[in-house]
Structure 1
Amino acid sequence: MSTEPNSEEHMTHTGPDWPRTVSDPADARTTDDVDYSPRELDRSAPFYVAGHRGLVGSAIWRHLESQGFENLIGATSRELDLRDRDAVEAFMARHAPRYLVLAAAKVGGIGANSTRPVDFLSDNLRIQLNVLDAARAAGVERVLFLGSSCIYPKLAEQPLRENALLTGYLEPTNDAYAIAKIAGILHVQSVRRQYGLPWISAMPTNLYGPGDNFSPAGSHVLPAMIRRYDEAVRNGDTEITNWGSGSPRREFLHVDDLASACLFLLEHYDGPQQVNVGVGEDVTIKELAELVATATGYRGVTHWDASKPDGTPRKLMEVSHLTSLGWTAAIDLPTGLEDTVAWYRAHRDSARGM
């Protein structure tokens, strides 16, 4: 399977004096103390999930419903273009949400990010500015901004710690998207400093689950692998060739676990530092292929084309901050893959990218 290409040498300058690891009091701003006291959200208050039809937003919506939230607000991209500032302001003023999770974003695979960086930078900056500015104007009490692990430098020390932000060069194949997400983190931190609002940011690792993008051109490694192995099973193929050596290591978090973590953070965390969300464990791409083969029922042979690029050797999130608050992932990878394969097969004709 294709992964990120190799990149330039590491940059040695240090990042800005932002809060680093919140667990270290010396790194926290005295003007923005961290609050870990539980604060249960009002289940009857209006709660806007921006991007509620996507992989992440739909999982958050399902989780909030399961936890008794009665007044969820959502709008499809046809109903509300989040790049349209006037429309977003009118929507926010009309619905007056008390809580908001910003899960909407323009996303894509390596090819799309590499060939259309302006789109990924411009669209995501507009979405974030419009939604966050309108939320502040409408008096939204609690906001959770969701970013991505791609905000961290390509050659940052593994596992990736929150304080690695802006300490080196980004992965060039998605640096425009990453810069937009970094801007979102700074936007939330700036709102905290300037307006004193308890807004927070979270950075999930690689995600998978029901509703993922299985397009051959736009999907990431795990859904692409599910599609390929499922096709082999249906076609009776006995051999599959994947790109690379299979040695790179990657971490995968089921999207339902992310949804659980989002609500947990909104009710248990109030600090300026972005919080990593992951499982704290990784697998090799070859191990992932074996798990996907088991989940899909593929019994053939898998070959590896080592002439193709492997990409970054490892990408693992350091999640001790989140686990110290009391949250850990509940869905192991084999179980999550079975769930995802079952969903894909039930929605094969209508799933994104089909």
Structure 2
Amino acid sequence: MIRYRMTVPALLGLALAGCNAGGASVSGSASESAASTSSLSSLWERARSLGFETGKTYEMPALGIMADAFMAENNARGASLSAIPQMAMAQQGKDIPRFDRVLDRTAQAIAREAVGVSPTQLARVTPFDLAHIVYAGPVIVAMQPRKGWEVNSMDTRDLDAQFDTPFFRKHRPPSNYDRQLHIRYMEMLAISAIYTNTVFGLIDEKLGTGRLADPDAARKQVLTAFQAIPVATLKAALADAANQVAGGNFTTDLTGSGNIHFTHSPAGDFVADPRGLTWTRAGGTWFGDGRINGQSINLRLASTSSLSKRETQSGTQGTGADARVEGSGSMGPGR
């Protein structure tokens, strides 16, 4: 027997033909198969990122941070706080040069002798070049703490009345009071206060209004800003400060407060105490005690922290279907 696999229409045609032939038997077999598969496979990722940032802005007095920066730089070089006053007040015959002229001569002398100084070696201890080190001197004078006069501000011949006799007047030592030294000393302090106020104002302009990272970063930026000021600008600022006190009259306060106190007409009132120099003019504090150019200026310091979270999801999905129909057929001689 030979089997055929036929479709349903072919089997029907064959059966009709067998009937017309007369007597033959016909049988058929058919097979039909249908399969349908539907599959959906998807892979996806859904990510959600959450970020949180917390930040605070701290404000610190600009005067304090600037003063700390210059004092720290001076200490890093191992320079004595009294070095500049001693140099400025050194006796040169009977003529003691004005403070600004002393510094200008010092800057010129250093420039002539700085040929052998390695900038790389200097940069290891200070961000300043040699000229800026000189013109940072008045800032150190203005901001260093003081308690009492460093020079004899009054005539030592003023004695108790019981010793004011012909014998004691004849045998007591001569006075060591130096009026010129006294005036030059007050000039130095007044010039330093006025000059430092100008310099701190220039530094504040360079720092701008943006937030600074922290106090250490702020101090570094203060020194960088000072180094960026041209030497010619610093020299002019020092000369202008000196011109404000070159004329006029000084009046010394000797009431025994323990601090240095004097007044210059018309520049203003000056006090040197453990806070540094304070300059008062026109009835208000113009420099010192947290003020620069008469204003309480603060630097904004940033303190921030952040937290992030990430969530993900993934998955697959699919469907399938299968259907099948089978049959068989045969053809042979009739009986």
TM-score of the superposition, structure 1-length normalised?
Answer: 0.27
User: Which is richer in strand?
Assistant: 2
Which one has a bigger Cα radius of gyration? 2
TM-score of the superposition, structure 2-length normalised?
Answer: 0.28
- The structure with higher relative contact order (CA 8 Å, sep 6+) is 2
